DNA sequence: CTGAAAGCGCTTACAG
DNA sequence: CTGAAAGCGCTTACAG
């Protein structure tokens, strides 16, 4: 019966039928016991459970998935660039998703989307190949045309953090526009008029919307925005550092960076240029990374609950798996954004 | 035949047999074509591939896994506390692992290990349940007794970043001891004699070994280590900040923090206590997180290639899956550790 | 070169 | 209350 042992330490898998024959019951009975079916009387249940324990039996999730037509897995797609620029953002997002999937008995498989990945519609593939029952797609690009295809598919699929232009898909996110507006308004309330903006990536809705919020606050305050006041920082320390130099040329008295990491880059550039923060130039960031309160000076920023936002996306697809009828509006509200005043803006303690 | 459509947008799965019948070949032929079997002539291949494309057929990885007895998945276990204290470390590790698994055609499933998880030997479970073909276990605790059980199991399993006491398992890691020694020696070479140490978590080998490296450097230089010079920082900003205060009471002139994040906490505490860095107190960290060069002042630290280390763990299990004969020594060398001198220690530019 | 058939290890109506 | 049987969707010897 048994093959010759494998090279290093054979391991023979214990199957359900092994448990069944040891207990002298049928395999169906074992299966029913394991799925907690109330039809099985207690003594049979106990007998089976004991054998399971003694034999260290673990049902194959693969066979189970095939029979159940569900892998009990959530696919999470993060952009490739994330692996370079702002780890904290995506790590927090993964944390938020995992905190929902693990208790629900779902596994989380993580894929990084590069260009090829997107062109091959890997997100759809994950679903069609049955690798995942649902997908949370983090940081979709505004220009991602392929996503329109997902509208027609009846798979549980949700965007998180960023939505795509003209695509009617559910998206869990924070209020980028309002958060950026809050930050800018705070600087305005401190008397600043020449406020520079270091933008995130405008390929993403959060990048565009944060710039929108900044512009809206300026407009409402009757302040003009010079073209030279808006510079790209690409979520990158180096880039935002360089961007800061050009803002200094443009004579701004305050800088709003669309992500804390970019604010760190800005602060370093200011320091190297011999400017004091906030005396010479005030700085405000966004996202409230843990480190921000430990910066020198501590960074005023907008709290934006990344983990919560991503967790909501996970909750949503989980619910959708259970009842495919659920509509978009069940996603619920956006996590609240909130101004956290520290000393980098000159308005705090 | 077909059931009534699902509530919102039915989706009928295309199976291999559908492709086969459209091409008027057998299902085996389709299977062979898809696995690139050279026996199939080109025209048949083309015919099948066209049908696959036209029908948007995607083979079920679940069925395939069952038939192949392999899920083509690597399980990655990160500790629960990671979700709180030092995201960058674990994010980089995930990046390193994914950079190996994705090209190899493996999926990466991520699990966070809490206490219950460990007690239930979830790492073994992942393997037995066939959820993963191999497991990379990040940051095992020194005291993790359960790991001895894995020695007997013939599964591809490797520790990364930290090993467990008295457990003979392969471990991919950087040279914690030597790196810490380097950092300490640098401070010594700058003339410091009263050097404080903020420790990582001593539950982990990296925490213990970094302390070991510090002590060894001191010993070799003939310097005594006062008990009050060694304080725990738990990888935490807050904790290391508090630890720094007690080091100031102990009159140290330099601080070596066993992880950059703790160095950030220390710098903040020093600043708040009115001490200048490095004039009053020099600071050195470890791990060279990207942010460290943007701190104020830029942090002198030890480069420790986290992504590379974790990638090596992945490479190892991948190779082990292919040939179970591979022995521990095939893991290769540790990524090089290297002193990066910046200005926080007073010895740099 | 290609097909029929067994098998991977479960779940789930359906009988009894 | 429990078992025999079909089925999930593939892969892989084995024939021919």
pLDDT tens-digit series, residues B128-159? 999 999 999 998 888 887 888 888 888 899 99
DSSP symbol at B175? -
DSSP string, B220-250: HTT----GGGEEE-TT-HHHHHHHHHHHHHT
Cα–Cα dist B138/B76, whole Å: 7
B325 SS3 class: coil
A200 and A290 fall within a common domain: yes
Q: How far apart are CA A56 and CA B221, in angstroms?
A: 54
pLDDT at residue number A145: 79
Interchain CB distance below 8 Å, A62 and B290 = no
* CATH code for position A209: 3.40.50.2300
Any CB–CB contact under 8 A between B169 and chain A?
no
pLDDT band for A6, please (50, 70, 90 cuts): very low
Q: Which of B7, B110, B154 sits opposite A324 (nearest CB)?
A: B7
Q: pLDDT band at residue A4, thresholds of 50, 70 and 90?
A: very low
Q: Is B272 helix (H, G, I), strand (E, B) or coil?
A: helix
Q: Please tell me the predicted confidence (pLDDT) of residue B9.
A: 36
Q: Any CB–CB contact under 8 A between B71 and chain A?
A: yes
Considering only CB atoms, A237 lies closest to which of B87, B98, B290, namely B290
Containing structural domain, residue B43: 12-67
Residue B7 forms part of a structural domain:
no
- The pLDDT of residue B39: 85
- Give B-chain residues touching A86 at CB under 8 angstroms: none
Q: Answer whether A102 touches B (CB < 8 Å).
A: yes
Q: On chain C, which bases lie within 7 A of the protein's CB atoms?
A: 1-5, 7-13
Asked whether residue A6 is domain-assigned, the answer is no
The closest nt to B38, taking CA to C1', is C1
CA nearest neighbour of B172 among B337, B338, B331: B331
The answer to whether A322 CB sits below 7 Å from nucleic acid chain C is: no
**Which pLDDT belongs to residue B83?**
62
**What is the model's pTM?**
0.91
Spell out residues with C-beta < 7 A from strand D: A 24-29, 32, 39-41, 44, 63, 66-67, 69; B 13, 15-17, 27-28, 31-32, 34-35, 57, 59-60, 62-64, 66-68
Q: Is residue B5 part of a domain?
A: no
pLDDT reported for residue B329: 55
Q: Does B9 touch chain A (CB under 8 A)?
A: yes
Q: Of A11 and A226, which is predicted with more confidence? A: A226
**Interface test with chain B among A3, A10, A34, A65, by most B beta carbons within 10 Å:** A65
A265 and A119 inside one domain: no
**Position with higher pLDDT, A66 vs B168:** A66
- pLDDT score for A2: 32
Average pLDDT over residues A23-35: 91
Do residues A93 and A54 both lie within one domain? no
- Asked whether residue B327 is domain-assigned, the answer is no
The answer to whether residue A34 is domain-embedded is yes
**Candidates A88, A109, A291; nearest CB to B108:** A109
Q: How far apart are CA A112 and CA A130, in angstroms?
A: 18
- Same domain, yes or no, for B117 and B93? yes
Q: Is A66 on the interface with B (CB under 8 A)?
A: yes
The predicted-structure confidence for B45-104, as pLDDT tens digits, reads as follows 999 999 999 999 999 999 999 999 999 999 999 988 766 667 888 888 999 999 999 999
A117-131, A274-288, B47-61 — which is least confidently predicted?
A: A117-131
Same structural domain, A211 and A152: no
Strand boundaries in chain B, DSSP class E: 73-79, 107-113, 134-138, 157-160, 171-172, 195-199, 230-232, 254-257, 282-284, 301-303, 338-340
Higher pLDDT, A273 or A324: A273
Residues B105 and B160 in one domain: yes
Q: Tell me if B2 is assigned to some domain.
A: no
Nucleotide nearest A42, from its CA to each C1' = D1
In a domain, A144, yes or no: yes
Looking at the structure, do residues A168 and A311 belong to the same domain, yes or no? yes
Asked whether residue B162 falls in the same domain as residue B131, the answer is: yes
CATH number, position A60: 1.10.260.40
Mapped onto helix, strand or coil, the DSSP state of residue B273 is coil
pLDDT of residue B347: 66
Q: Do B299 and B183 reside in the same domain of the chain?
A: yes
Q: Are residues B191 and B286 in the same domain?
A: yes
| Residues B90 and B135 both lie in one domain | yes
Mean pLDDT to the nearest integer, A316-322: 90
Same domain, B280 and B182: yes
Task: Quick: pLDDT tens for A155-172.
Answer: 899 999 999 988 888 899
Question: How many structural domains compose chain B?
Answer: 3
Output the average pLDDT for chain B. 89
């Amino acid at each position: 019966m048994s093959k010759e042992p494998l090279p290093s330490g054979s391991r023979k898998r214990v199957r359900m039928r092994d448990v069944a024959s040891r207990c002298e019951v049928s395999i169906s009975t074992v299966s029913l016991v394991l799925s907690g079916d109330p039809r099985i009387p207690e003594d049979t249940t106990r007998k089976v459970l004991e054998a399971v324990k003694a034999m260290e039996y673990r049902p194959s999730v693969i066979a189970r998935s095939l029979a159940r037509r569900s892998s009990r897995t959530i696919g999470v797609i993060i952009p490739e660039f994330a692996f370079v620029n702002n780890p904290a953002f995506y790590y927090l997002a993964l944390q938020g998703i995992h905190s929902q999937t693990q208790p629900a008995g779902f596994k989380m498989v993580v894929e990084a989307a590069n260009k090829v990945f997107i062109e091959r519609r890997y997100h759809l593939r994950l679903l069609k190949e049955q690798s995942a029952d649902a997908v949370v797609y983090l940081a979709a690009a505004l220009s991602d045309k392929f996503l329109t295809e997902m509208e027609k598919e009846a798979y549980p699929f949700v965007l998180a953090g960023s939505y795509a232009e003209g695509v009617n898909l559910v998206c869990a996110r924070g209020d980028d526009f309002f958060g950026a507006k809050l930050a800018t308004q705070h600087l305005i309330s401190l008397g600043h008029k020449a406020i520079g903006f270091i933008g995130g990536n405008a390929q993403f809705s959060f990048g565009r919307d944060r710039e929108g919020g900044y512009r809206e606050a300026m407009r409402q305050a009757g302040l003009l925005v010079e073209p030279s006041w808006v510079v790209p920082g690409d979520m990158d320390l180096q880039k935002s550092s360089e961007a800061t130099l050009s803002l200094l040329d443009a004579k701004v008295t305050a800088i709003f960076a669309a992500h804390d990491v970019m604010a760190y880059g800005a602060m370093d550039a200011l320091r190297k240029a011999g400017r004091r923060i906030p005396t010479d130039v005030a700085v405000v960031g966004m996202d409230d990374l843990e480190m921000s309160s430990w910066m020198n000076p501590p960074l005023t920023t907008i709290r934006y609950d990344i983990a919560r936002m991503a967790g909501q996306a996970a909750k949503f697809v989980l619910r959708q798996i259970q009842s495919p009828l659920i509509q978009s509006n069940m996603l619920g509200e956006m996590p609240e954004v909130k101004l956290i005043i520290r000393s980098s803006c000159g308005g705090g303690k």
